[in-house]
Structure 1
Amino acid sequence: MVINEKLLYSAGAEIKHYNSGEIIFQEGAIPMYYFQVIKGRLKLNNYTKDGKEFIQNIVYEGQSFGDSMLFMDKVYPMEAVALEPCTIFRLCKNNFFSMLNTYPQLYDTLCKALADRLYYQHIMLQANSAQSPAQRIIDLMDYLKSGSEYKDPFSFKVPLTRQQLANLTGVCVETAIRTIKNMEKNKIVKIKNRKIFF
Structure 2
Amino acid sequence: MIPENLLLNYGATLENIKASEIILHENKRADFYFQIKTGEVKMFNINEQGKEFVQGIFYDGESFGEPPLLGDFKYPASASAVKQTQLYKLSKTKLFELLTENPEINLKFTKALAKRLYYKATILKEISVHPPEHRILTLIDFLKRKYGSEELFQVELTRQQIADLTGQRVETVIRAIKQLEQDGEIKLIKHKVFR
Using structure 1 for the length normalisation, give the TM-score: 0.94
Shift of 1:99: 1.8
- Which of 173, 176, 185 does residue 170 from structure 2 map onto? 173
Q: What's the counterpart of residue 117 of structure 2? A: 118
The CA RMSD over aligned residues, in Å, is 1.3
Q: What's the counterpart of residue 188 of structure 1? A: 185
Q: Which runs of 5+ in 1 are unaligned?
A: none
Cα distance between partner residues in 1 of 2:6 and 2:147: 27
Runs of 4+ aligned structure 1 residues displaced above 4 Å come to none
Cα distance between partner residues in 2 of 1:139 and 1:38: 27
Q: What amino acid does structure 2 have at the position aligned with 1:24? A: I
Q: Contact 1:130–1:136 at 8 Å: present in 2 too?
A: no
Cα distance between partner residues in 1 of 2:149 and 2:98: 36
Cα distance between partner residues in 2 of 1:134 and 1:19: 34
Where do residues 122-141 of structure 1 align in structure 2 (5 Å cutoff)?
A: 122-141=121-140
Per-residue displacement from partner, 1:152-192 (whole Å, max 9, x unpaired)?
A: 3xx11011110011111111111111111111122211112
Cα distance between partner residues in 2 of 1:148 and 1:46: 25
- Which of 142, 160, 169 does residue 163 from structure 1 map onto? 160
Q: What amino acid does structure 1 have at the position aligned with 2:53? A: F
Shift of 1:91: 0.3
Indicate yes or no: 2:57 matched with 1:58.
yes
SS of aligned partner of 1:140: helix
Q: What's the counterpart of residue 36 of structure 1? A: 35
Where do residues 24-103 of structure 1 align in structure 2 (5 Å cutoff)?
A: 24-103=23-102
Shift of 1:151: 1.7
Q: Contact 2:100–2:106 at 8 Å: present in 1 too?
A: no
Using structure 2 for the length normalisation, give the TM-score: 0.95
Q: What amino acid does structure 2 have at the position aligned with 1:172? A: R
Q: Contact 1:37–1:61 at 8 Å: present in 2 too?
A: yes
Shift of 1:73: 2.6
Shift of 1:120: 0.9
SS of aligned partner of 1:171: coil
Shift of 1:102: 2.5
Q: What amino acid does structure 2 have at the position aligned with 1:186? A: D
Q: What amino acid does structure 1 have at the position aligned with 2:167? A: G
Shift of 1:104: 3.1
Shift of 1:147: 1.8
Cα distance between partner residues in 1 of 2:149 and 2:104: 31
